[in-house]
């Protein structure tokens, strides 16, 4: 789960990390009030789960409160990479002496949280990583022991020469590790970590991604989820316990298992079609899940045909068949449905479908070719 910058700021602040003041606004008058409180020139930043906000016009300077209101009015409601901006962060336009990078990520390779720090911070950090990887220092942390004081200090020495700044940065690095662990994060990043002309060390921008598997017993973190920052159909799918990603094509796909769902999309494309979505109904499938899946897919007016691709293992294919029958009774599905199912309780599933006059295929390639054909005819 991605957090907004303002939410990440709240978590890092709670961990004691020194940051510039600032606050979040949903309306131009709110932005104006925050700018007045801060005083001087401020930056208005769109809060949206997309990179490249600045280039898209989602980050603007405002010299006074009235300008802050104007700029906020411009940014609020704008669309960046398909996502509507509902909130802006208002922070002071700080004078900056240096910019560094401090990131902490759960690394697959070392299977540990790994710190990455560089004195070459800012937006171009990926370019630094690609061109001069030696400028980025990495440190894996054994989570059994946590981050040792000398490790934090050695990372801070990578960033600064002035010992007061080194000590300040080491403290922040320890606080960042604490925030990462305490919030079940898979990524926590301060970019840039800045020094001011008067020598203070402060976090200017922050990003945090929470491990979705933590949310089960961390309902407090779940509350940070911003449904409005998601594609509405994706939010609806998540509430129905379905894993769903909306795409631009016209072939709706309902599949069990993420790997098979991706392979199904690939095959749709292989046979000349365009998938309308990725949808994984998961392992144990109740008829209800199938009904919800069909509701979400048929809500997309671009969908011209729907493919069910079910390989029954834990998933019982008769459950899926019952779901399809129940759904088509509950609401009218106006586009053709192609059903491919094989595996657990296949014979029973085919009987259930045939009873209501629905044919079922057992071969994946045949089913995909048919649904692509039907989508083309319906277009």
Partner 1 sequence: MSIFADAATRLLIQGITGREGSFHARQMLEYGTNVVAGVTPGKGGQTFEGKVPIFNTVADAVGDTGANATVIYVPPMGAAAAVIEAADAGIPLVVCITEGIPVLHMSRTMPFVRGRGVRLIGPNCPGLITPGTRTKIGIIPGNICTAGRVGLVSRSGTLTYEVVNHLTRNGIGQSTCVGIGGDPIIGTDFIDCLAAFQDDPETDAIVMIGEIGGTDEQNAAAFVKEKVSKPVVGFIAGQTAPKGRRMGHAGAIISGSSGTAEEKLAAFEAAGIGIMRRPVDVVALLQKKTARKSAKSAH
Interacting span for partner 1 (CB under 8 A) from 10-18, 92-100, 291-299, 312-320:
312-320
Residues 61 to 90: which contact partner 1 by CB under 8 A?
81, 83
**Residue 33 binds to partner 1 (criterion: CB under 8 A):** no
CB of 155 to partner 1, least distance (A): 14
Q: Give, as ranges, the residues between 95 and 124 that touch partner 1 (CB under 8 A).
A: 101, 103-109, 111-114, 116
> At its nearest, how many Å lie between partner 1 and the CB of residue 309?
9
Question: Around 107, how many Cα atoms within 13 Å sit in the side-chain half-sphere?
Answer: 15
Place of tokens 């009774």: 329
Tokens of 193: 């970590």
Provide CB contacts within 8 A for 181, sequence distance 6+.
113, 143, 146
Q: Binding of partner 1 at residue 256 (CB under 8 A)?
A: yes
Subset of residues 127 to 186 that bind partner 1, contact rule: CB under 8 A: 129-130, 133, 136, 138, 142-144, 181, 184, 186
Q: Which of 30, 32, 101, 174 is catalytic?
A: 101
Does position 191 bind partner 1 by CB under 8 A? yes
Residue 150, classified by CB atoms within 10 Å of its CB into exposed (0-12), middle (13-18) or buried (19+), is: exposed
101 included as an active-site residue: yes
Q: Examine residue 54 and tell whether it contacts partner 1 (CB under 8 A).
A: no
250 binds partner 1 (CB under 8 A): no
Applying CB under 8 A, the site for partner 1 has a residue count of 71
Indicate whether 197 belongs to the interface with partner 1 (CB under 8 A).
Answer: no
Residue matched to tokens 């911070």: 121
Determine what percent of the chain falls in helix, strand and coil, rounding each to the nearest 5: 40, 25, 35
Distance from C-alpha of 295 to C-alpha of 301, rounded to nearest angstrom: 12
Instruction: Characterise 257 by phi-psi region: left (phi > 0), alpha (psi -120 to 50), beta (else).
Output: left
| Member of 30, 32, 174, 189 binding partner 1 (CB under 8 A) | 189
343 touching partner 1, by CB under 8 A: yes
Residue 247 binds partner 1 (CB under 8 A)? yes
Distance (Å, rounded) from C-alpha 56 to C-alpha 197? 29
Spatial separation of the C-alpha atoms in residues 303 and 19, rounded to whole Å: 47
Q: Which residues are catalytic?
A: 101, 189
């Amino acid at each position: 789960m991605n957090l907004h910058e303002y939410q990440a700021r709240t978590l890092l602040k709670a961990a004691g990390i020194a940051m510039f003041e600032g606050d979040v606004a949903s309306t131009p008058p709110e932005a104006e009030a925050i700018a007045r409180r801060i005083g001087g020139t401020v930056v208005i930043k769109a809060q949206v789960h997309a990179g490249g906000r600045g280039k898209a016009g989602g980050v603007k300077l405002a010299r006074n409160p009235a300008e802050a209101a104007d700029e906020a009015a411009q940014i609020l409601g704008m669309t960046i990479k398909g996502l509507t901006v509902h909130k802006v962060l208002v922070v002071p336009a700080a004078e900056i002496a240096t910019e560094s990078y401090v990131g902490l990520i759960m690394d697959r390779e070392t299977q540990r949280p790994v710190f990455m720090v560089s004195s070459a911070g800012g937006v171009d950090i990926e370019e630094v990583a690609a061109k001069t990887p030696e400028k980025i220092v990495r440190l894996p942390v054994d989570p059994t022991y946590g981050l040792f004081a000398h490790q934090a200090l050695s990372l801070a020495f990578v960033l600064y020469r002035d010992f007061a700044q080194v000590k300040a940065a080491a403290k922040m690095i320890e606080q960042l590790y604490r925030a990462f662990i305490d919030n079940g994060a898979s990524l926590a990043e301060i970019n840039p970590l800045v020094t001011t002309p008067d020598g203070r060390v402060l976090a200017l921008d922050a990003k945090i991604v929470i491990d979705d598997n933590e949310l089960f017993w961390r309902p407090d973190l779940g509350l940070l989820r911003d449904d409005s920052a998601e594609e509405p159909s994706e939010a609806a799918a998540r509430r129905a316990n379905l894993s769903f990603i909306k795409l631009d094509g016209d072939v709706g796909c309902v599949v069990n298992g993420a790997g098979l769902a991706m392979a199904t999309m690939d095959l749709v494309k292989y046979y000349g079609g365009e998938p309308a979505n990725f949808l994984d109904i998961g392992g144990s499938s109740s008829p209800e899940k199938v009904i919800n899946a069909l509701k979400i897919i048929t809500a997309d007016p671009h969908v011209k045909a729907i493919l069910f691709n079910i390989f029954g293992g834990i998933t019982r294919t008769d459950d899926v068949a019952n779901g399809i029958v129940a759904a088509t009774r509950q609401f009218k599905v106006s586009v053709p449905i192609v059903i491919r199912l094989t595996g657990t309780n296949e014979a029973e599933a085919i009987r259930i479908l045939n009873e209501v006059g629905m044919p079922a295929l057992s071969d994946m390639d045949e089913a995909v070719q048919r649904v692509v054909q039907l989508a083309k005819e319906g277009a």
